[in-house]
Amino acid sequence: MSALFFLALSIAYYLGATGIELYPGDEEELINAQTFPKFIGVMAGIFSFLILVLPAKGEEEKIDWAGFDWVRPVLLCALMVVYGLTIKWPGFFLATSFFLICGILVLGERRWWAVLVASIPVAAAFEFILAGLLDIYIEDPFVIWLGL
């Protein structure tokens, strides 16, 4: 299955490579912006095809799909996306605190003192080190609103 995906990806990549715009006259050059990507597309296609046709070693069959915990990784990925969307507004401190609190809760921690100790002070200390000590500017409307 993975080889089939790679074969499709290689074909799409090769087609993308043929669509790279060139300056007039570049087609005649020994190497242009399309050459290397085209080569990569062809080689990746050949190797995907070889994996597809040669006898499998059986690694893929060994995967215990049912034994995996799918919910928590998906929630963590969603949290990371939300973190990316909130880091500019409402800002670093609130976004980081929210991310850490939710992340720790998602992973099953239910002791509130542990959740709070490993999140809010970490976010505050990290922001202080960056903005206060290392003088790195961090956009944080919440801290500005607090007047700090």
Partner 1 sequence: VIEGILIGLTTALTPTNLMMVVVGCFAGTFIGMLPGLGPISAIALMIPITYGFDPSTGMILMAGVYYGAIFGGSTSSILINAPGVAGTVATSFDGYPMARAGHGGKALAVAAYASFSGGTIAAIFLLIAAPALATVALSFQSSDYFALMVLGLTAVSAFAGRGQFLKAMLMVFLGLGLATVGQDTSSDVTRFTFGSIDLLDGISFLLLAMAAFALSEAIMTVLKREKVSEAAVQAAAGKMGSLKVTREEAKIMAPVIGRSSVLGFFIGVLPGAGATIASFLAYGMERSIAPRGEKEKFGQGSLRGLTAPETANNAACSGSFVPLLTLGIPGSGTTAVMLGALISYGVQPGPMLFTDRPEVFWAVIISMYIGNVVLLILNLPLIPYIARLLALPSQLLVPLVLFFSLCGVYLVSFNTFDIQMMVAFAVGAIALRLFGYSMAPMILGFVLGRMMEENLRRALEIHDGYNFLWERPLTLGIMILTAIILLAPVMQWFKARKSVATAGEGG
Structure tokens belonging to residue 71: 């919910």
Verify binding: residue 136, partner 1, rule CB under 8 A. Answer: yes
Q: Is 8 in the site for partner 1 (CB under 8 A)?
A: no
- Cβ neighbors of 32 (< 8 A, separation 6 or more) are 22, 26
Distance (Å, rounded) from C-alpha 51 to C-alpha 22? 33
Classify residue 78 by its DSSP letter: H
- CB 100, min distance to partner 1, A: 5
Which residues make Cβ contacts (< 8 Å) with residue 3, sequence separation at least 6?
48, 49, 51, 52
Q: Is 114 in the site for partner 1 (CB under 8 A)?
A: yes
* From 8, 15, 81, 148, residue interacting with partner 1 (rule: CB under 8 A): 81
Query: What would the two tokens of residue 93 be?
Result: 């401190």
Q: How far is the CB of 57 from partner 1 (least distance, A)?
A: 4
| CA–CA–CA angle 78, 83, 86 (5° rounding) | 125
CA pseudo-torsion sign 30, 33, 38, 44: positive
Q: Which is nearer to partner 1, 19 or 147 (CB)?
A: 19
Measured from the CB atom, is 64 or 147 closer to partner 1?
Answer: 64
Considering Cα of 127, then 128, then 129, then 130, what sign does the dihedral take? positive
Among 4, 20, 144, 148, binds partner 1 (CB under 8 A): 20
Site for partner 1 in 29-58 (CB under 8 A): 30-33, 36-37, 40-41, 43-44, 47-48, 50-51, 54, 57
Q: Is 25 in the site for partner 1 (CB under 8 A)?
A: no
Quick check: 63 binds partner 1 (CB under 8 A)?
A: yes
Q: Which residues contact 55 (CB under 8 A, 6 or more apart)?
A: none
Residues near partner 1 (CB under 8 A): 1-2, 6, 10, 13, 16-17, 20-23, 26, 30-33, 36-37, 40-41, 43-44, 47-48, 50-51, 54, 57, 59-60, 63, 67-70, 72-73, 76-77, 80-81, 83-85, 87-88, 96, 99-100, 103-104, 107-109, 114, 118-119, 122, 126, 130, 134, 136, 139
